A and B are shown apart, each in its own frame.
Chain A
Amino acid sequence: MSLEFLSPFGFAAGLLGLAGGLYLLHRLRVRHREIIVPTTLFWKQAVEESLARKLTARFRHPRAYAFVLAILALLLFALAGPLTQNKEARDYVVLLDGSASAARGDRFESALRLAAEVVSVLPSSNRSLLFMGAVPRTLLGPTEANLLLEERTANLQPEASPETITSELLRIARDARNRPNGVTALIVGATPLSAELVLALEQTSDAKLEILRVQTNADTENPQSPAEDDAMVALGMAPAASGDWSSVDVFLATASGKPPTVAGIDPSLLSAAPDSGYWLRDLPVARIGEALTASAGLEAQPEALTLDDSASLRAPAERAAIGVWLGPNTPSDFTEAVEADPGLFLTSAAEATVAIGSPEELASSTARALWNLADRADLDASFEASTTRQGSSFQSIFTSLHLGEIERVSDTLDVTNDSVSFGARQPGSTPQLWTDRALFAPPFELVESQSFPLLVGLTARWLAGTQAVPPFAIAGHAVPGPFRQAKDTLVTEAGSIFGAVGAAAIPPVAGDYETLHASLLSPITSGVAPAAGLLSTAGTMALTITTPADLSSGGSDWNVPLLLLALLMLLGEWYLFRSGRMP
């Protein structure tokens, strides 16, 4: 047996308080009711005079005290909410889907009613209800009264956001390891969860997490029309790949793949990205104004779910220039390139953000990032992409650097028996880029190229961490397409093998990650978010379906019997009082 609203200690303390309070009341002097009688002759003979008008008196009515204390104890016990449970007490977390997809039809209202029904049958001491909107919020905590739910959900609406249940489930799975009786997560809503994810979560929780889906009729009564199911799924902004300091590149994507509408922008400026989405390149920041707003164009469809129809992005704040230190042996062309770039400036070695030079010059550098210009024999890169003069591979380097559109390199460039390499270190250490010094000397002489200043600017920005769309193959970032042919796999220092391109586990940013399961990591690249309003039925059947009736079979409520017993005792006390057997 457990108590819903009071801990055993709280119940015992309350009972002691009641007993003590009643005892004091019984000890306090009483106020006698005055009655005039014809004679007190017989009373005098019958009674030992009770001591009145004293602060304390002898304990007068032990039987009445016991009766009242028993009745109050029963009421307190009923108030404490005793609950017997047929199975071990588990913690229940009800997750109410409040993402954009819940806004369709009356799905959210139905889910809300169902959630209220679910929490009403669960023991309140170990159940909680979370609203999974853009940010998870607790609607009912453990031991909070169900009556609060109506007030707290009065103005609750789904929010234009991706579902957050997955990340919350991960947190619950980790937390469940420390719960002796385990945790049951009850999902109210149509959030799709893959079987692999459910399995991974259960493994993470050491099999202490059970995930169930509470069935709603709305799931089957309101099928969604794919034609109406579109959304903005990506809106990202990055410094212009062209190096134009006053412009940005904007990446946009819709769920359907149709080109979005950008407020104030000519649709013809949109160019399709290689894989999916659209680029809006070299968009002057001045044209963005307050914010850039893109729409999937669903406003004209009355039945469409428009929560994710539009997305907006604020214009970038003023960017700080990056301090660059150049080693003494660095070609002077680098100095000119840095001075020409409005985002870069030359500074001392101690204050530099990016240091460029030979490995010897950079050995003692305190800069945040290093660009090593080394001989090929000294290259110390974890990832390496090399090319030779054969075929169009040299051109592919320029293409991968996004420089191909600026300067076309002739495939017939006479580069005999030489090769150049780009490389980078693993994340976690100081970002370093290793470049074959030969690239800047004859016969390649990239310093003579029109795109050389752009190469310096982009590289320095990426190394400083301000370039969101790096064109380099480096840990933590998508491997640009041209390198796919160069190497099939990338081998890390730890020996992990990633698929070269399109690998499932590509962290969204460089850094240390606790890789729980591949599917937990969203395949997010810069600015791309998963669709919120999209309804997918894939994986929804991976969960066991339950109903409130199934959940309520776990225990029985003692409140009513206790209250009835207290009432019976009250009637008994009244009878004893009326019959003169008890004062």
Chain B
Amino acid sequence: MPTLAFEELFDPHFMESLHQLRLIAGRVPMGGRFAEQRSKAMGHGIEFRDFRPYSPGDDLRAVDWNIYRRLGRVFLRLFEEMEDLPVYLMPDLSASAYTPEATGPPGSETPLAPRAHSGLRAAMALATIALGQHDSVGVFPFSNDVRVAIRPQSGAGRTMTFAKVLSGLGPDPEGPGTTTDIVRSLRKFTGMNLRSGLLVIISDFFDPAGIEAVTRALGRTRHKLLLVQLVRKGDRDPDPIRMAGDLRLVDSETGEAQNLSITADLLNRYREAYDAFELGLTAFATRRQCGLLQLDVDEPIVDQLATLFEGGRYEA
């Protein structure tokens, strides 16, 4: 299975186009490092947030002397503490993301890049954005299990490290497997007891367990969620030339074969099934108020990310 070339991932133009984008959290949990994200903690930031009465031991530098002069009472000015946002990237490395897909008439098929490559590029983009604003970023690729590729770390200077690691990712033949098991992977990820942050799942979400099981597992996570769904136009509307006649469809993950004869009715039922799948994912995102980006893997990544970062920023 081909991996993504480093040059493809660390393209200067690609990196440059990401500088305008920012990842903003509503409030990051307390306990993080000093960074650029607003946190729930009060501290030494520059953004004024509130007053409170002075208590012994408080830092006298925070006393608002103007109020004391007018009211004769001592109050402290409270500022927002700026901390980092942990960003956990979970790219899907299952076999479905590496399925060689083709376009055009049968016999003259031109293989398309695996959708995993677009997922990795999206992960690289998000990592670059987060690292650029001093957030910590970790990479946890998954298929039917999750593993740690990069522990959460910060610093814009680590961009190249991320690029190297991401470009080296691929389906591990010695790994846990090539099937997709989001439920198990999330359970394992939760068990890592990482600081609450933004969990970005980059996947086609083709989990044999079904979209209901996936959304249930997603709903149990305490992290903020950003779902990046890797899609292709042919996912819903199969190529009528390629997908015509009597076919033996082989599942890239399970190896199961499905013999069928393509008919109009069958195609309609297929679309209905796919629509139900998409509806399930969209309804979950709406209910959970998390981001859902349907990333067309055959279109430029940055342009589509820009729709997510409306106004140059995405607020998780």
Contacts and interface: CB of A to CB of B under 8 A. Distances in A.
Interface stretch (B47-55, B241-249, B287-295): B241-249
A13 to B, nearest CB: 31
Given A33-B247, A583-B262, A46 B252 contact: no
User: Of A41, A51, A581, which is in contact with the most chain B CB atoms at under 10 Å from its CB?
Assistant: A41
Q: Main SS of chain A's interface residues?
A: loop
Interface stretch (A443-451, A457-465, A489-497, A572-580): A572-580
A31 interface: yes
Contact of A42 (B106, B242, B245, B277): B277
Given A577-B244, A581-B264, A583-B246, A36 B100 contact: yes
B261 A583 contact: yes
A45 interface: yes
B96 A39 contact: yes
A319 interface: no
Given A45-B269, A50-B260, A35 B250 contact: yes
Given A39-B96, A41-B208, A42-B270, A578 B246 contact: no
B263 interface: yes
Contacts of B274: 42
B315 interface: no
B244 A46 contact: no
A287 interface: no
Interface string B204-239: 101010100000000000000000000000010000
Contact of B260 (A41, A43, A581, A582): A43
Interface in B33-75: none
A37 B251 contact: yes
B253 interface: yes
A40 B258 contact: yes
Interface in B192-208: 204, 206, 208
Contacts of A579: 240, 264
A52 B246 CA distance: 10
Contacts of A314: none
B240 A578 contact: yes
Contact of B264 (A36, A52, A580): A580
A50 B245 contact: no
Contacts of A581: 263-264
Contact of B270 (A31, A36, A46): A46
A34 B270 contact: no
Interface in A398-436: none
B260 A49 contact: yes
Interface size range of chain B in the complex: 35 or more
B266 A36 contact: no
Contacts of B262: 580, 583
A51 B246 CA distance: 11
Interface residues of A, number: 32
B264 A43 contact: no
B267 A32 contact: no
B304 interface: no
B298 interface: no
A60 interface: yes
B43 to A, nearest CB: 48
Contact of A33 (B115, B245, B252): B245
A39 B251 contact: yes
A577 B267 CA distance: 12
User: Of B115, B208, B250, B258, which is in contact with the most chain A CB atoms at under 10 Å from its CB?
Assistant: B258
A46 B273 contact: yes
Contacts, number: 124
A40 B256 CA distance: 8
Contact of A34 (B210, B248, B269): B248
A25 interface: no
B272 interface: yes
B102 to A, nearest CB: 9
Nearest to A34: B248
Contact of B272 (A37, A38, A46, A61): A46
Interface in A498-522: none
B101 interface: yes
A39 B272 CA distance: 15
A38 B97 CA distance: 7
B153 interface: no
Contact of B258 (A30, A49, A60, A578): A49
Contacts of B99: 36-38
Contact of B266 (A30, A47, A51): A47
A40 B246 contact: no
Interface string A36-72: 1111111111110111110000001100000000000
B259 interface: yes
Contacts of B204: 38-39
A61 B260 CA distance: 12
A43 B258 contact: yes
A44 B254 CA distance: 13
Contacts of B258: 40, 43-44, 47, 49
B272 A49 contact: no
A57 to B, nearest CB: 10
Contact of A583 (B210, B244, B259): B244
Contacts of A43: 249, 258, 260, 270, 273
A46 B272 CA distance: 8
A38 B254 CA distance: 10
Interface in A531-583: 577-583
Contacts of B244: 577-578, 580, 583
B119 to A, nearest CB: 13
Given A36-B99, A39-B96, A50 B269 contact: no
A36 B242 contact: no
Nearest to A30: B246
A53 B257 CA distance: 13
Contacts of A583: 244-246, 261-263
A379 B223 CA distance: 148
Contacts of A30: 246, 261
B246 A39 contact: no
A39 B261 contact: no
Interface string B80-119: 0000000000000000110111000010000000010000
A33 B248 contact: yes
A40 B235 CA distance: 11
25 contacts: A30-B261, A32-B248, A34-B248, A37-B101, A38-B115, A39-B204, A39-B252, A40-B254, A40-B256, A41-B273, A41-B277, A42-B270, A42-B273, A42-B274, A42-B277, A47-B266, A47-B269, A47-B270, A50-B259, A50-B261, A52-B259, A61-B263, A579-B264, A580-B244, A580-B267
Interface of B: 96-97, 99-101, 106, 115, 204, 206, 208, 210, 235, 240-254, 256-264, 266-267, 269-270, 272-274, 277
Closest 8 CB pairs of A and B: A32-B248, A46-B269, A38-B96, A39-B206, A42-B273, A45-B273, A46-B270, A40-B251
Given A43-B273, A60-B261, A583-B244, 20 more contacts: A33-B248, A34-B247, A35-B250, A36-B249, A36-B250, A37-B250, A37-B251, A37-B252, A38-B204, A38-B253, A42-B277, A45-B270, A50-B246, A50-B261, A61-B263, A578-B240, A580-B244, A580-B263, A581-B263, A583-B263
